[in-house]
Amino acid sequence: MTTEYSPPTITPVLLCGGSGTRLWPLSRKSYPKQFSRLIGEKSLFQASAARLSGHEYGPPLVITNSDFRFIVTEQLAEAGIDPGAILIEPEGRNTAPAVLAAALWLERQDPDALMLVAPSDHVVPDPDAFRAAVEAGTPAAQAGQLVTFGIKPTHAETGYGYLELAEDPGSFAAKPLTLSRFVEKPDASRAAEMLAAGTFLWNAGIFLFSVDAILTAFKTHAPALIAPVRAAVAQGKPDLGFLRLDPGSWTGAEDISIDYAVMEHADNLSVVPFAAGWSDLGGWDAVWRETEQDAQGVATSVNATAIDCVETLLRSEDDRLEVVGIGLKNIIAVAMPDAVLVADSSRAQDVKLAVTALKEKNADQATMFPKDHRPWGWFESLAIGDRFQVKRIHVHPGAALSLQSHHHRAEHWIVVQGTAKVTVDDKVSLVSENQSVYVPLGAVHRMENPGKVPMVLIEVQTGSYLGEDDITRHEDVYARGPDGTD
């Protein structure tokens, strides 16, 4: 009598902390590309979480930073996915400490688990094919191998690292093969040589291994990381369902990638080829390739129009702003409400230079997204002048802003959708559509959405200083700090 094989539960580990400056102006430090709907109706993060779900997968373990913690939970809830643990990095220390923290956390919760580590900002058009590739690599991971996934190259790409195979991949079928070595990002001529050789794969930065195997690898190849990361996990503080890793311990961990720390030194490596389509959307040229194009190679968003253009990407990220291109060739044009990028397609990888230049000018557009996302919803500035600012504020059903006061400004609120429950000092009232309320300077106040639909209001601020740090929080259901900066 044979025992039926039962595959182990795989815990997806989603890395969710990058800034994605090469996709500026859509991707910015305050709201990077993984949370944007670059391709399709889901954000890249939501699509990644959905791709790594199913009966063989456990709840995802997410590693992110404090600024994104509520965006992560909101987008997972919107996608109908219940998260497992959400670990908050005090600061980015690259992928090796992040993966080690996930492994140490899982060691306490499910030491027999397999971990599937993946960035949260990749595009995989065929999720079923990817899950099949994971299934193909599972027996090797159970046997103690560190399994990585390599992408069959489609062109001589210089923006990716490569994996050199020790054997001919044949048809690039999804099965574990022996990995010879990791190869750094090549120049154009070397990339062309590797493409022609047929034994190189793009390094996707996706890994599958058991908790025990990766911890053993860290102890063998990067032992100095163990103590600070273990202390950061052990001394982490629970916070509204998140685990904040201990900042003091975390600072002692080296800033290093898992490739450099472990993978390039390990001798128990396997690679599963994947040939069903993949992109890390590492630049607007990659977005152009992944977007549906017309016969002239032109890709446009809903609010963009191309006339006599060739091999061009035109996008408007604002329903109120129409982008029109005439006679363009090999051009990228991306418009946001507060910034516009126009670049030759061959310079797509240089978009990060624009971010550097804007930072040197102290321009908010370098890092700040037009919509400021908060745990209760979001707001955006509609007009800013001397001693006044006009905002649109969107509050999710059942959500509430902090109980707060201001030293330098008064506020007028006009409800344009839904109903607001408003507290001003000792008075609590319901304010419906087309009604308004005045919040005097210094008054302790709060707005809540008691309804089941979003509540939207227009806020007019007047005063001598209108910065977000002019907020004193007296109570907050989201356990944020006493000022308004998080």
Domain boundaries, the chain: 10-274, 284-361, 371-475
The owner of tokens 């499910």 is 110
pLDDT at 83: 84
pLDDT tens by residue, the chain, 486 residues:
455 556 678 999 999 987 778 999 999 998 999 999 999 889 999 999 999 998 889 999 999 998 899 999 999 999 999 888 999 999 999 999 999 999 999 999 888 889 999 999 999 999 999 999 999 999 999 999 999 999 999 999 888 899 999 999 999 999 999 999 999 999 999 999 999 999 999 999 999 999 999 999 999 999 999 999 999 999 999 988 899 999 999 999 999 999 999 999 999 999 999 999 999 898 999 999 999 999 999 999 999 999 999 999 999 999 999 999 999 999 999 999 999 999 999 999 899 999 999 999 999 999 999 999 999 999 999 999 999 999 999 999 999 999 999 999 999 999 999 999 999 999 999 999 999 999 999 999 999 999 999 999 999 999 999 988 899 999 998 888 777 666
Q: How far apart are CA 102 and CA 467, in angstroms?
A: 37
Q: Which CATH fold topology does 10-274 show?
A: Spore Coat Polysaccharide Biosynthesis Protein SpsA; Chain A (3.90.550)
257 phi and psi angles, rounded to 5 deg: -80, 160
Collapsing DSSP to helix, strand or coil, 280 comes out as coil
The owner of tokens 């996934």 is 149
Which among 94, 137, 131, 98 has a CA at the least distance from the CA of 114? 137
CATH code: domain 371-475 is 2.60.120.10
pLDDT at 1: 46
pLDDT at 290: 93
pLDDT at 40: 86
pLDDT at 366: 93
Contacts with 69 (C-beta within 8 Å, 6 or more apart), sequence order: 86, 88, 242
Q: How far apart are CA 355 and CA 350, in angstroms?
A: 10
Q: How far apart are CA 233 and CA 101, in angstroms?
A: 6
**At 37, which amino acid appears?**
R
